[in-house]
Amino acid sequence: MTRGVDPALHCYYKSSRLKQYFKEGLALRTELVICDTKDFGIGRRVCAKNWYALRAVGETANQRLCDAEAADAKPAPDVATFQRVTRPSQTDDGLYAAALRFGDPRVMAVLSSLVGFCHVTVGFTNRQLVDQVGTLRSEPYTTRQATYDLRRLRRKGLILKIPHTRGYQLTATGRRVAVLFTKTYGRLLAPGLGILAPRLPKAVSRRSPLAVAWHQFESALDNFIEGSVVAA
């Protein structure tokens, strides 16, 4: 991010590209650039049928990206949804749905890999999930593990199987849950715990108002406990 420079978003699919940028710094423009019509199973002949098919692809892709961005701005899921996701549950058909525990390294890596805009247009596959989670974890992530994770994501209602394909796509609830998990962990929990780490040098911790307030609280609590024990 550079001050004075408007950022642009680019999502790639085969030889095509979905991009979003500020037009002359005044309006947000979203467009799909199709370099090969066969990327979407459409012929190259110039005719009304192919033209309307390409237009439908473009409008759908643009709308999906805008819908995903709008979902990111919505309030976090309610407590009932959070509990259903983070605890074992059952589907309406009585199938067991394993928990997706907040803070679990594997769960966090899976949701972090799915929340990216690169999956908005055509979804993602088991193989893509393995590749992306593998880059986020130091431990190996196998196809079998991905199959298990996809099953529990699906039973929790966070993803849907795309008909007649091997791909999956986040649901509206799934995106909100993934955004909540990744933002809360990456922007709040991990940085906060890092600042409050006992082994953090005092020269560093003194720079943080949170760390200073926390150490003052700990000191006051220790003094209270010590005084209470002596009095007893």
Tokens representing 230 are 């002596």
pLDDT tens-digit readout, 12-33: 888 888 899 888 777 888 988 8
Position 120 confidence tier, pLDDT thresholds 50, 70, 90: confident
Residue ranges of domains in the chain: 9-72, 79-190, 196-231
Position 232 confidence tier, pLDDT thresholds 50, 70, 90: low
pLDDT of the residue at 168 = 94
Compute the mean pLDDT over every residue in the chain, rounded to the nearest whole number.
86
Q: Are 88 and 97 in contact (CB under 8 A)?
A: yes
pLDDT of the residue at 197 = 77
pLDDT of the residue at 102 = 92
> What DSSP assignment string belongs to 25-48?
TTEEEEEEE-S-GGGGT---S-SH
pLDDT of the residue at 101 = 94
CA distances from 95 to 83, 88, 98, 152 (A): 17, 11, 10, 10
pLDDT tens-digit readout, 182-194: 888 887 777 777 7
The yes-or-no verdict on residue 152 having pLDDT over 90 is yes
Return the CATH fold of 79-190: Arc Repressor Mutant, subunit A (1.10.10)
pLDDT of the residue at 224 = 85
Give the residue-averaged pLDDT of 196-212: 78
The yes-or-no verdict on residue 70 having pLDDT over 90 is no
Give the residue-averaged pLDDT of 33-54: 91
What gap in Å lies between CA 202 and CA 220, rounded to an integer? Answer: 18
Instruction: Give strand ranges (E) for 34-178.
Output: 89-90, 96-97, 159-161, 168-170
What gap in Å lies between CA 197 and CA 1, rounded to an integer? Answer: 29
Question: pLDDT: is 66 or 2 the higher one?
Answer: 66
